[in-house]
Structure 1
Amino acid sequence: MLAQESLKQIGLVAKESSVPIKTIRYYEELGLLKASGRTEGGYRLFDSDVFSRLNFIKRAQKLGLSLSEIKEFLEVHDGGHLPCDQVKIKLSEKIAEIEQQIEQLQILKRELQGLLDREDLAQDDEALICPIIEGN
Structure 2
Amino acid sequence: MASIGITAGMKIGMLASRSGLPVKTLRYYEDLGLLPAIGRSEGGYRLFAEESLRRLEFIRRLKTLGLSLEEIQGCLAVHDAGDLPCGDIEIQLGRQIERIDGQIKELRQLRTELKELLAGWQSDPAKDDEVICPNLHV
TM-score, structure 1 as length reference: 0.90
Counterparts of 2:127 and 2:97 in 1: how far apart (Å)?
46
- Structure 1 residue 5: deviation in Å? 4.2
Q: C-alpha separation between the residues in 1 aligned to 2:121 and 2:44?
A: 70
Q: 1:55 aligns with which of 50, 57, 64?
A: 57
From 33, 44, 47, the equivalent of 2:46 is: 44
Corresponding letter in the other structure for 1:24: L
Which of structure 1's runs of 4+ aligned residues deviate more than 4 A?
119-122
Q: Distance in 2 between matches of 1:120 and 1:20?
A: 49
Residue in 2 that maps onto 1:13: 15
Secondary structure, counterpart of 2:5 in structure 1: helix
Counterpart of 2:50 in 1: which secondary structure?
coil
* Residue 109 of structure 1 pairs with residue 106 of structure 2: no
Could you say what the CA RMSD is over the residues aligned between the two structures, in angstroms? 1.9
**For 1:15 and 1:49, how far apart are their aligned partners in 2?**
15
Residue 61 of structure 1: CA displacement? Answer: 1.1
- Tell me the TM-score normalized by structure 2: 0.88
Q: Which runs of 5+ in 1 are unaligned?
A: none
My pick for the range that moved more, 121-130 or 93-102, is 121-130
How far residue 75 of structure 1 moved from its aligned partner, in angstroms, is 0.7
Q: Secondary structure at the match of 1:25?
A: helix
Q: Residues 76, 124 of structure 1: CA spacing in aligned structure 2 closer, same or farther, 3 A cutoff?
A: same
Task: Structure 2: state its 5+ residue gaps.
Answer: none
Answer yes or no: is 1:131 the counterpart of 2:124: no
Instruction: Name the CA distance, whole Å, in 1 between partners of 2:13 and 2:31.
Output: 17
Per-residue deviation, residues 92-135 of structure 1 (Å, max 9, x unmatched): 11111111111111111111101111168993252332222117
The number of residue pairs the alignment matches comes to 135
